[in-house]
A and B are shown apart, each in its own frame.
Chain A
Amino acid sequence: MATTDEVTISTRGLVKRFKTRTGAVLAVNDVKLKVLRGETFGLIGPDGAGKTTMTRVILGLLTRTAGESSILGYDSMHDTHKIRERVGYIAQQFALPGDLTVLENMHFFANVQGVSRAEQRRRIPDLLEFAGLSNFTGRLGGQLSGGMKKKLALACSLVHEPSVVMLDEPTLGVDPVSRREFWNLLGKLRAEKGLTIFVCTPYMDEAERCNYVGLMHQGKLITTASPGEIKKMVPGRLLEFTPSNFVPAWRLVEKMEGVLEVQTYGAMLHVFVDDVDRRRTEIETALAAQRMTCQGMREIEPRMEEAFISLIRKQRAQ
């Protein structure tokens, strides 16, 4: 059993139910989770899986319906202010005052977090430098580009030197170059300050950059493991090809012996099989018999994306 020193975020039997006009929605359903100190934990899942709700409940921004949740040993519901002094958070939407400048935003969050003037003089230029915003200190928050807004939010959330940051889809609506830059910043934080990072993301390439990921689907945490382990959870090996006639080929291959699972990927089919060499020939023959061709048939390594879809399908089938 890990001590509270090592466990940064923990939940047990966590439930969040929203009342709606038509009934109740279980946004978080009996979730057990442990994030250790210094870890970068990625909560991944499709839109509406309950990632944002779970993050907000852990932070005490939403009441929980049942179960336990805590950060740094502080209960989410009862010790909210202790949590708020020690945790940095970036909301999914840009939630900084847009009519304050970059520098005014930094000073505001530093002041409400009780950072002394002397400390502010030291930290704020460093953080602005780190976030690449040194040349934009006088620009209004609302007039920054999408990527710069996220970097400002990150800089503001770090101004009180928290030991944990929780980021809710921090790269939503951010261009690929800025996304990469943002993740490089997170990498630096982890390496230099030993920060525990909890990040929600629907992007599989981002999930690969985490030490640990939790797969969330319809309020349930399906599994938690390292990205490498998750990729190994998918049975069989993976074939990729582009059929000449997409839907009939899909239907045909799906029913063949030795085919474990078929996923679509653009105009291509991803087929999990038990034996690559044997099934490759069989599929080619079967398609040829139906006067269909297939291009670029090759074996590929399963990525997070395939593993993720496969795990969710299994969850649905249960």
Chain B
Amino acid sequence: MSIKRLAAIIQKETIQLLRDWRTLAIMLLLPLIMLFLFAYAVRLTVDHIPTAVADMSVDAESHALIDALVVSGFFDMATYVDDEAQVIAAIDEGRVMAGLVIPPDFAAQVERGQAQALFLIDGSNSFVVQSGYSAAVAIAQARSTELLMRKVNQMGAAAAGFNSLPILTSTRILYNPNMDGMIFAVPAIAAMLLQFIALSTTAMSVVREHELHTIEQLLITPIRPIELIIGKMLPNVVLTMVDMLIIVLVGIYWFGVPFRGDPWLFAWLSLVFVVSGLALGVLTSTVAKTQHEAQQITMVLAMLSVLLTGFMYPIAPMPPAVKVVSHLIPLTYFNRIVRGVFTKGVGLSFLWQDVVVLAVYAIVAMVAAAAMFKKRLD
């Protein structure tokens, strides 16, 4: 390997990267767009679900139940109708996404301790089901407990032997007590985007040489494959690390996401992760013949990454075969690292396994990329 040739390639790649200002602008704006979309537009929990109510009882108890649902903030009473059929019709038409049917004589049934209210949810959107279902169950249970306690008190607390519930669960949410979505989203987006950008920039820059036939004029020089690979990777390492910095700084200073770990440790581990992503990009380029093909491979990897790496959905409940696939993607390891350092503030002593795997991954991918790199045109 010759430092002089490597420097020449780095210089060439840097000029080309800076001259292609459209791509550069996209690469630098993408993290900001993603962050702001997650912060202000996209929500994983759904609230203010428009709800149709058929209150056939119209008494104090039914009003109390409806009030409890509205006060929670999860449901907005959008329309009042007469019966269950009309509630279903409203969901069919898409005017509302949930419905509440309270049978006649609700208060009396409550008094007897056997009241049943029917709650209907539009199942075509699983996020609505998740949020709506758990909210409705929680609210109904809270209401029941309240009623039960009231009854117990009426019967005489002393006689019953207690004046509160026998088991009280108190929940404390660590690291993110206010359930702020950005604390979850910022590290995840940082990791996800980093892999995507690292992968696609290198894959593209190698495949483009093939597509524009410039590879022929490069192969005829004394440049060694490893020099070309490293020379193409280094400018992209800088670009990707700048992206990382943008995401982290905007996350901390704009969205107020706390950064609890060691920033230098985070920077080093990000670098290892970026190198593994870039090497994966070079591997992609040895398989893809056109930029279009490279793009498709990158998209498939991005999709797998979103679904399988713990970016949004937990890995634990996945079947073993799928877990194997998860662990072939570097993002899986980095997701744990990024949440560990960023959100939990833990150090290497907790994360060393993932770090070792990621480092080995980066080295193996580099060696494989160099080995698979086509040294000739056929």
Contact = CB atoms under 8 A, between A and B. Distances in A.
B216 A84 contact: no
B376 A81 contact: no
Interface string B232-251: 00000000000000000000
A112 B223 contact: yes
Interface stretch (A92-100, A195-203, A236-244, A306-314): A92-100
A109 interface: yes
Nearest to B223: A112
Contact of A96 (B2, B20, B214): B214
A112 B5 contact: yes
B222 interface: yes
For the complex of A and B, the 6 pairs showing the least CB-CB separation, nearest first, are A111-B8, A95-B217, A91-B216, A89-B220, A112-B221, A93-B213
Contacts of A95: 212-217
A15 to B, nearest CB: 14
B377 interface: yes
Contacts of A99: 15-16, 19-20
Interface in A96-117: 96-100, 104, 107-109, 111-114
Contacts, number: 77
B172 interface: no
B289 interface: no
Given A97-B16, A112-B223, A61 B216 contact: yes
A59 B8 CA distance: 23
Contacts of B224: 81
B4 interface: yes
Interface in A33-58: 56
| Number of chain A interface residues as a range | 20 to 34
Nearest to A101: B15
Interface of B: 2, 4-5, 7-9, 11-12, 15-16, 19-20, 212-217, 219-224, 375-378
B19 A114 contact: no
A30 to B, nearest CB: 19
B216 A108 contact: no
B180 to A, nearest CB: 44
Interface of A: 18, 56, 59-63, 80-81, 84-85, 87, 89, 91, 93-100, 104, 107-109, 111-114, 153, 156
Interface-central residue, B5, B217, B220, B222, by most chain A CB under 10 Å: B220
A111 B212 CA distance: 22
Contacts of B212: 95, 98
B222 A63 contact: no
B201 to A, nearest CB: 15
